[in-house]
Structure 1
């Protein structure tokens, strides 16, 4: 294992959750200050270099010009700084168990991967589907081919680690069975091209019990399909519209940390209470890391316990996430022995179809909705080999239905915060 995977493994052996921000700054001074602050936080942390949008889309000249002219960027311009500068920046910081991951969002990441490896970094994230469909118009076939080459580049450096972003497709309103399946399928893809250390992602959704079941399903399928690899699971604090009140935002953050703790999740990507209003500062990020770590360490119900927050445990299968995800994974892998070709064919046939995703290679025949329990369900599944459970009285979700679903979590947590003086109090869906 390389430094990143080793750091996560060490935290797990110590019974601690690794918490990680998503921050990135263009200049070296702020980047250095931010990484040092994350390292010094009262938590078991990992650092992040989130790259800027120019670099993500391959416009390296504009990133370099902005850096040269002092124009602000929304992340770290890795190629503009170059591997030597980045290596010098990180050498005094990324040591003694503190590791750094590069996060970028590029469907064509070849130059990014070559540069991060040259800078001495060993961990990044993405995938042929998850870094293609949500982010632009790059054809899926081009992304699959590019990510196959990048996996081979990473695999050639022993210990390199790659995280699938598949469990975070569009961040919200995608029922968990598909999120779990996409994460596992990208893990299988990584394995095919030589990776030996991977992580699988899942984004917190609208119902804690359903999320608990989804994380258990993710672990079960990873055990079946990634046997022999070093792997772990990473949870993302809710990626949709964040609560506008500080109390609501903190309650949602803490709930994600408790979800990670009770499911044995090894790593948590946090959001901050500032998300709804402005770009978070270093101080905002450190506070979120410490709040999440404290919530994860706090006593709580055992993983199999039932209460209003957790719903039924995963063994009871109330939401059917494992069966749904397994059906999707097996249907795709049966298409072709090479997982990249299988993924392309699955989207061509509509066997995989992400709701509300407008990419040209996505069939756009599926829709999800939030049911009366607060869980995500399929209103329509298009050509996917899983059943739909249409919302009663709803022929097809309209624009106002979609807006209501997008605001569901924000309104629930803000409402509870206005009624409950203690923002750490558990919430019912």
Structure 2
């Protein structure tokens, strides 16, 4: 297939449009984190996801060598039949990549490339050549938590990458880019900062020509606070992304997962119900086996079907007055102060981190000021112990006298695991399961 034909075909099954159709019909789109180095295994996994009893999107998760710009290491691994932890899209040939997708990718089954790279140009070039038009990441969220790449270099790389992805519009595609800003550090980051980072990365994408965008948010420690956060993200997007097709994607909890199968499934159920109640259009699932090992394709499909079942039996909450939404108030403060720094949003992000106006708790990256801190309050909410130089009221640091010790941090990191394993023991009832599965 000529390159132009591949891109035109991709445009006909645009990622954002697919999610929008599902949203209009009241369906939650569910998606796994899944990647295999072997093309046959990757194709088989995609086909299984497509066949699941759910409204699904496929995923190509990229290996770690490709993420950090070491294609020669990925090539050596492939040549030596050594295991990789994902699909090396920039190392496999374009013909191989297209063969994986042939008969799989289509108007009713988009596929997204997920990677985690602060230097994603080669990944984005490879995915567009393969006929794909959807990926995710961001200049902050795929830099600060994952290594020591200077933030300035990551902004430059992501500027080039957005331009590469936006350019495929000229050949018939409507590319889609998802922010990872709402998932920074995975846990222990108060939701207002996650909302602000997700929205700011979306504005960065928009400024560089993307017109189909999703904004991420990761399930945290309390469903009520998470509901405020997703409503806050939707409210700010409605104000600031008026000329963009957008939706919100919720990630099932990204931290230490429950060890019991029942506890893990209860946590997944809460994520699916939260997505529906708050108007998130898409859910990235986790399986019942995350605390123990990498899940199989079958286990990923089970998680997709359970999440879909819960979504179908959950009612969306009525629109409410959000004047008491403290997550929205804090996130708005952060976003507005950053946007005042510079008309170029990439430069504004650099200035904000240099001044400490954005400051991620427990993130050791050299470009992060590391003056903020957080803790889990007695009500289960994530709150600030210190806001550093961030433009938040002093009252936001309700736990300023409760800065965490190392032992306290470790205890906090297992809070959700312990909570849901305890709920599982107390309930005495199995989590909901799709038809044909067995409890254990």
TM over 0.5: same fold?
Answer: yes
Change (3 A) 1:317 1:304: farther
Separation in structure 1 between the aligned mates of residue 103 and residue 257 of structure 2, nearest angstrom? 35
Q: Does 1:373 align with 2:388?
A: no
Mapping of residues 136-147 of structure 1, within 5 Å:
136-147=147-158
Separation in structure 2 between the aligned mates of residue 382 and residue 225 of structure 1, nearest angstrom? 27
Deviations, residues 365-389 of structure 1 (Å, cap 9, x unaligned): 0001111110111110000011354
Separation in structure 2 between the aligned mates of residue 96 and residue 157 of structure 1, nearest angstrom? 18
Mapping of residues 2-151 of structure 1, within 5 Å:
3-151=14-162
Match of 2:424 in 1: 417
Change (3 A) 1:5 1:297: same
Unpaired runs of 5+ residues, structure 1, are 306-312
Change (3 A) 1:197 1:317: same
Unpaired runs of 5+ residues, structure 2, are 1-10, 433-440
Deviations, residues 110-162 of structure 1 (Å, cap 9, x unaligned): 11111111111000000000000011000000000110111111111120000
Mapping of residues 302-313 of structure 1, within 5 Å:
302-304=316-318
Separation in structure 1 between the aligned mates of residue 16 and residue 384 of structure 2, nearest angstrom? 35
Match of 2:346 in 1: 340
RMSD of aligned residue pairs (Cα, Å)? 1.5
Deviations, residues 63-87 of structure 1 (Å, cap 9, x unaligned): 0111111101000011111222101
The alpha carbon displacement at 1:101 in A equals: 0.2
Q: Does 1:398 align with 2:409?
A: no
Paired residues of 2:182 and 2:217 also in contact (CA < 8 A): yes
Mapping of residues 110-259 of structure 1, within 5 Å:
110-158=121-169, 159-259=174-274
Match of 2:310 in 1: 295
Deviations, residues 330-349 of structure 1 (Å, cap 9, x unaligned): 00000000000000000000
Paired residues of 2:264 and 2:288 also in contact (CA < 8 A): yes
The alpha carbon displacement at 1:394 in A equals: 3.9
- Equivalent residue pairs, number: 416
- With normalisation by structure 2, the TM-score equals 0.92
Separation in structure 2 between the aligned mates of residue 398 and residue 209 of structure 1, nearest angstrom? 26
Separation in structure 1 between the aligned mates of residue 406 and residue 417 of structure 2, nearest angstrom? 18
Paired residues of 2:68 and 2:117 also in contact (CA < 8 A): yes
Separation in structure 1 between the aligned mates of residue 76 and residue 151 of structure 2, nearest angstrom? 30
Separation in structure 2 between the aligned mates of residue 396 and residue 73 of structure 1, nearest angstrom? 39
Paired residues of 2:384 and 2:400 also in contact (CA < 8 A): no
Separation in structure 1 between the aligned mates of residue 151 and residue 53 of structure 2, nearest angstrom? 41
Change (3 A) 1:379 1:81: same
Of 328, 332, 337, 2:334 maps to 328
Match of 1:385 in 2: 391
Of 366, 370, 375, 1:364 maps to 370
